[in-house]
Amino acid sequence: MRALAAILVASLLATCSAPPSVLEQIAQIGELRVVTRNTPTAFYYGADEPRGIEYELVRGFAEKLGVSLKIFIGEHVHADVASGKAHIAAANLSVADTRKHAIAFGSAYQSIVPQVIYRRGTKRPADVADLHGGRLEIAAGSSHSMLLEKMRADEPLLTWIENDATSTEELVRRVADGEIDYTIADSHEFAVIRHFYPEARAAFTLGEPIDVAWVLPEGADDLRELIAAYFAEIEATGELAAILDRYYAPSRDFDYVGSRAFVRHFEARLPLYRDLFKAAAEATGTDWRLLAAMAYQESHWNPEATSPTGVRGMMMLTERTADMMGVKDRLDAAESIMGGARYFKRVLGKIPERIPEPDRSWLAVAAYNVGFGHLEDARILTESQGGDPDDWTAVRERLPLLSEEEWHRRVPRGYAPGGQAVTYVDNVQQYYELLMWMGSREAVTTSEITIPASTASKGGALAEG
């Protein structure tokens, strides 16, 4: 990436008759302009900073270049690149040769397949012929339109409607609500949004797997080469896999009943307690969505929940924990939420501050469930096996060992249901991501942000904001 400085020097020495390349323009203005889309896999506003796979990737690329990042939402992302409004379009875009007018594609970084989506409870279509007579609606100008055009050669009766004022999520919602019969969604995006609309199901795939890549201006060879080097580097270091896993892993274990219940409770129960979560978050410096996700895992936002083991209330506090946190009535929602938030802050304070987010918070969530001492035992086992005790993924692999005698006898505190703690954190992560995205759709935010070069780095604390 040091080549960027050399390119800038070369551009300054070049004659006035030679227009600067796209990479030279980026170097001269000190800014990378990126157009994206507001989707749960590309870009959305989180608790204290933007989130999304594409956001994290372009932020990392801007950091490598040493320039500021300006990112904005666009409806016609290919045109924004072709016109020079944006240097890059990063919006989970599929590589399609027929769309390469005045644009090019960078290195592919994941592969997806288009899926036909239908409503649960209706007849599941088995192939394209079964779509005849149904209302199939897709986004206008999308790669799905070109795919259907190719298929119409063999299926002349195939018809569809192209909507130029909607998103994939909105189309999936319309299928789930019975407003249309079918739509097409790319597999990676549907894997996430199906949790919001559990009535929507994938029927079958269309065509072969398609690569996903950034869109660049045509002829921007120097920029394409640096992008290729960037993706080669983060693939080799495992950073690319970590970013993809951060967004897709919580969605892999889809549970229709659980997802349907979550959406129902999000609409009916959460509004009753949202202000209590926000008050507790303000008092403890914790993201209210994380507290709400933990509460949902504990009680499904039921303030009167009681377990056979004696834990009670919204945050399912034990009598000992309630006494420690000054909670007099565990069935009082306000007391329980505040008590749970204070206890989580107490646990988080025991996790070494050197551990970066989000690992520090996920370790604290595990300790909230299984106990700080047992978490320390799992970290001891992790280090003894050559893993990083400060990395949640590494500790997550070892926590289940605490229930095996061969291993728990080697640590100070002995047996613990470590597998249960892993499931607890996995579920909290999933609910947290759902709350982040569902909440972002309600927020009023700007469509453009700029991240200075000095702060275009990875991170973001779950326990702040």
CATH 1.10.530.10 fits 256-440, yes or no: yes
Please indicate whether the domains covering 3-108+215-252 and 256-440 agree at the CATH topology level: no
- The full set of domain ranges for the chain reads 3-108+215-252, 114-208, 256-440
Supply the DSSP symbol for 125.
P
Contact 39, 77 (CB under 8 A): no
Where are any strands of DSSP class E within 144-297?
Answer: 161-163, 183-186, 200-205, 210-212, 215-217
Cite the active site residues: 298
* 114-208 topology per CATH: D-Maltodextrin-Binding Protein; domain 2 (3.40.190)
pLDDT tens-digit profile, the chain (465 residues):
555 555 544 544 454 556 788 899 999 999 999 999 888 788 887 655 788 899 999 999 999 999 999 999 887 888 899 999 999 999 988 886 555 567 889 999 998 899 999 999 999 999 999 999 899 999 887 788 888 888 888 888 899 999 876 778 889 989 999 999 999 999 888 888 887 788 999 999 998 888 999 999 988 999 999 999 999 999 999 999 988 887 776 666 666 667 788 888 999 999 999 999 999 999 999 999 999 999 999 999 999 998 877 889 999 999 989 999 999 999 999 999 999 999 999 999 999 999 999 999 999 999 999 999 999 999 999 999 999 999 999 999 999 999 888 898 899 988 888 998 998 998 899 899 888 877 665 544 456 778 787 544 443 334 443
| Structural domain 3-108+215-252, CATH architecture | 3-Layer(aba) Sandwich (3.40)
**Per the structure block, which two tokens stand in for 170?**
């909105």
Question: What one-character-per-residue DSSP string does 340-397 give?
Answer: HHHHHHHHHHHS-TTSPTTHHHHHHHHHHHH-HHHHHHHHHHHHHTT--TT-HHHHHH
